[in-house]
């Protein structure tokens, strides 16, 4: 082998290692997020682990971060609807109310 071939193989191994590390890091982050959401939903033990696996699977199914956030929001909405009267369920997907064509949120500063 020439020096150039050795360098090329070295770069390929490094790229493969970096991609694998990024994959594992993202999967771990998603699992921890799933466990955090499960805790907020009142799940524990095997139910929390199953929910975290479901969140990780949602990450692979659709377009990444948007999919896991949508899945978590869906879980919160359904849990809130089961535990609260309809009048008390906040509308997380609705935009803030508008006054005179402007947003109701005040700017700080």
- The token duo for 105 is 């949120």
In terms of Cα–Cα distance, which of 30, 32, 33 is closest to 64? 30
The pLDDT of 95-104, averaged and rounded, is 55
Give the C-alpha distances (Å, rounded to integers) separating 6 from 2, 3, 16.
6, 5, 15
Q: What percent helix, strand, coil does the chain show, rounded to 5? A: 70, 5, 25
pLDDT score for 93: 47
Radius of gyration in angstroms for the set of CA atoms belonging to the chain, rounded to a whole number: 22
pLDDT for 21 beyond 90: yes
What are the residue boundaries of the structural domains of the chain, listed by start? Answer: 3-84
> What tens digit of pLDDT does each residue of 62-88 get?
667 877 888 888 888 887 777 655 555
Q: What pLDDT is recorded for position 59?
A: 76
Token reading at 100: 């005179």
**What per-residue confidence (pLDDT) applies to 109?**
47
User: Left (φ > 0), alpha (ψ -120 to 50) or beta: where does 64 sit?
Assistant: left
Whole-model pTM?
0.62
């Amino acid at each position: 082998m020439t020096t150039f071939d050795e360098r090329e193989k070295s770069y390929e191994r490094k790229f493969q290692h970096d991609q694998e590390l990024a994959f594992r890091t993202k999967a771990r982050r998603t699992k921890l997020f799933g466990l955090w959401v499960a805790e907020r939903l009142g799940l524990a033990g095997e139910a929390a682990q199953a929910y975290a696996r479901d969140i990780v699977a949602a990450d692979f199914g659709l377009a990444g971060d948007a999919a896991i956030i949508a899945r978590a929001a869906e879980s919160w909405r359904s849990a809130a609807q089961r535990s609260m009267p309809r009048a008390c369920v906040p509308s997380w997907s609705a935009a803030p109310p508008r006054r005179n064509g402007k947003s109701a949120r005040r700017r700080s500063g």
